[in-house]
């Protein structure tokens, strides 16, 4: 029985608090924003290891 209680409380301890969830959502939103806005800009640069020479 003690093992079952330990597993139950472990699940509860791993759950985020309201503040933790709010911060995690903000970070995820910022990641999405960067992936959308920087994708076009990064496409302008040549792939790494390849140089573009303007003559």
pLDDT tens sequence across 12-21: 777 788 998 9
Q: Do 24 and 16 meet the contact criterion of CB atoms below 8 Å apart?
A: yes
The reply to whether 38 falls in a domain is yes
Domain range for 35 is 17-46
Which pTM does this prediction carry?
A: 0.51
The reply to whether 21 falls in a domain is yes
The reply to whether 55 falls in a domain is no
The reply to whether 6 falls in a domain is no
Confidence of residue 39 (pLDDT cuts 50, 70, 90): confident
Q: Do 28 and 20 meet the contact criterion of CB atoms below 8 Å apart?
A: no
**CB within 8 A of 52, min separation 6: which ones?**
46
Q: Do 34 and 42 meet the contact criterion of CB atoms below 8 Å apart?
A: no
């Amino acid at each position: 029985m003690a093992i079952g209680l330990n597993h139950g409380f472990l699940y509860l301890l791993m759950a985020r608090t309201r503040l933790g969830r709010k911060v995690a959502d903000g970070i995820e939103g910022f990641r999405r924003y960067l992936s959308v806005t920087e994708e076009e800009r990064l496409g302008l640069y040549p792939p790494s290891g390849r140089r573009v020479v303007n003559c």
